Amino acid sequence: MTSAAPGRTVLVTGGAGGLGRAFALGFADPGTKVAVADVNLAGAEETAALLRERGAAALAVEVDVTSPASTEAMATQVAAFGDGGLDVLINNAAVYAGITRSPFEEIDPDEWDRVMAVNLKGPWMCARACSPHLRAGGAVINISSATVYSGSEQWMHYVASKGGVIALTRVMAKELGRRGIRVNAIAPGFTLTEASYALMEDADSYGVDRAALKRPAQPDDVVGAARFLASPDSSYMSGQTLVVDGGRQF
């Protein structure tokens, strides 16, 4: 399977660690340029160093995905790195580990706004800023969550933000499809990252009994879906959401 063809430029937001770092490293093919953007610049630089070790050209960018000015500066910098354009945008940045789990009646409205700002407005801001630079044949991949399908309790702000990501994927697929750009989403199930370990005391065994595959997911289990959605192998797919959860949601 090919990923982004050699010479293409890929941008991963939230690439300082976890799934974002795994997505970035999944595109470390010779000739591919990978930009890693995060509010955590030091982490993005670590990912960029790992990419360079693997022979890819890499750029680390500091961004706040909630900010129009910051996302526009990111897009300009990445397009310059990508010889005037961008081929693949992976909207992965989000907040969840630090947010409170509580019944919906008790969710703090300020926290609701913060979750929506990063997880839902963020992908819009990034896509909006990158749109003028996206080349025909390109792909946008939005990271949603399988919690949208399971309706995870006591987490309505997070679940709603990720449901919104599926909705904006469908609208963007229609609007960008006219330019030959495909837009799809990935809904990972619980995946072992530093952030998800911080969230669950029983992270290693969480949900394993309900998964068809009876094992937890590692970030690399999700990377193949992103490579597929960025590649010509999915050339007639747009507006779709791939659930990558080890068979938990059926």
Active site residues: 158
* Least CB distance to ligand NAI at residue 246 (A): 11
Applying CB under 6 A, among 3, 9, 169, 196 the residue interacting with ligand NAI is: 196
* C-alpha to C-alpha distance for 129 and 79, rounded to whole angstroms: 11
Say which DSSP state 15 is in: T
The candidate with the shortest Cα–Cα distance to 19, out of 131, 163, 144, 138, is 144
Q: Give the residue ranges of DSSP H helices in 54-180.
A: 68-81, 109-116, 122-130, 147-150, 156-177
The answer to whether 168 contacts ligand NAI (rule: CB under 6 A) is no
Query: Which three-class secondary structure string do you get for 181-209?
Result: CEEEEEEECCECCHHHHHHCCCCCCCCHH
* Maximum separation of any 2 CA atoms in the chain, in Å: 51
* Least CB distance to ligand NAI at residue 22 (A): 8
The answer to whether 238 contacts ligand NAI (rule: CB under 6 A) is no
Applying CB under 6 A, among 4, 17, 120, 176 the residue interacting with ligand NAI is: 17
The answer to whether 57 contacts ligand NAI (rule: CB under 6 A) is no
In the complex, residue closest to ligand NAI by CB: 18
* C-alpha to C-alpha distance for 165 and 142, rounded to whole angstroms: 7
Of 11 and 16, which has the nearer Cβ to ligand NAI?
Answer: 16
Crossing angle for the helix pair 109-116 and 156-177, to the nearest 10 degrees: 30
The answer to whether 156 contacts ligand NAI (rule: CB under 6 A) is no
Taking residue 30's Cβ as centre, other Cβ atoms within 10 Å add up to: 10
Applying CB under 6 A, among 19, 74, 88, 225 the residue interacting with ligand NAI is: 19
The answer to whether 191 contacts ligand NAI (rule: CB under 6 A) is yes
* C-alpha to C-alpha distance for 250 and 152, rounded to whole angstroms: 15
Binding segment toward ligand NAI, per CB under 6 A, in 50-58, 63-71, 169-177, 235-243: 63-71
* C-alpha to C-alpha distance for 235 and 226, rounded to whole angstroms: 13
Look up residue 109 and give its two tokens: 């409205």
Of 62 and 137, which has the nearer Cβ to ligand NAI?
Answer: 62
* Least CB distance to ligand NAI at residue 102 (A): 18
The answer to whether 148 contacts ligand NAI (rule: CB under 6 A) is no
Asked whether the beta carbons of 152 and 200 are under 8 A apart, the reply is: no
The answer to whether 45 contacts ligand NAI (rule: CB under 6 A) is no
The site map against ligand NAI for 106-135 (x = CB under 6 A) is ------------x-----------------
* Least CB distance to ligand NAI at residue 118 (A): 5
Contacting positions for ligand NAI (CB under 6 A)? 13-14, 16-20, 38-40, 43, 63-66, 92-97, 118, 143, 145, 188, 190-191, 193-196
